[in-house]
Amino acid sequence: MQEMSEVATDNELVDLSRQNPDAFGELVLRYQKRLFFYVRRSSYFSNEDIEDIIQETFIKVYKSLNIFDGDLKFSTWIYQIARNTTIDAIRKKHVRPQTVFFEEDDALKFFKADINIQAQIENKDQVKILQKLINDLPYKYREVLILRFLEEKNYDEIMDIVQKSKGTVAALINRGKKKLLEAAHAKLNLL
């Protein structure tokens, strides 16, 4: 099965999983780490809670394999399920997302289109300020920026994951980037 995971497409593994539950393990291996970091960046949960969310995501995916028809890319579909499972977990906690986790270089990925900011970031303290600015963004902006710049999803995939129109996704990304750039310039006294 190990060799198969390297050559089989997601859709082929879905088809195999419908007939042989062991094949589903290959999809879990393929997506477990990526989804863990996505949920970690999108929420404030502890690692243990994130593992529970990921496990719940895979249970939902497995139970729904028969309705997956390939209209969406499998990766988009599983991210959509992970997102909805995370939102459900947030609602169960009855609190809004607070501080989320970003690696140091994650913060700079939000600014990869703005060479001016990247060139002026000189130390870890400034990166920590960028991380806080990202955390301070309203969730609706932070979510699409994470999908675009950290998960490297295209607009169509983001549109399917967050279930919003392409125009809305584009507007959220543009407004979020603008708010983030303005805050970075003001907080870090950048040109």
What is the 3-state secondary structure of 6-52? HHCCHHHHHHHHHHCHHHHHHHHHHHHHHHHHHHHHHCCCCHHHHHH
In DSSP notation, 100-148 reads ----HHHHHHTTTT-HHHHHH--SHHHHHHHHHHHHHS-HHHHHHHIII
Is the domain defined by 104-188 classed in CATH 1.10.10.10? Answer: yes
pLDDT band at 98 (very low <50, low <70, confident <90, very high): low
* Residue among 134, 164, 136 at smallest CA distance from 149: 134
Domain coordinates in residue numbering, the chain? 2-93, 104-188
d(CA 87, CA 101): 16
Q: Which residue has the higher pLDDT, 116 or 46?
A: 46
Does residue 147 carry a pLDDT above 70?
yes
Q: Mean pLDDT for the chain?
A: 83
Q: Which CATH class is domain 2-93?
A: mainly alpha
- Whole-number pLDDT of residue 1: 47
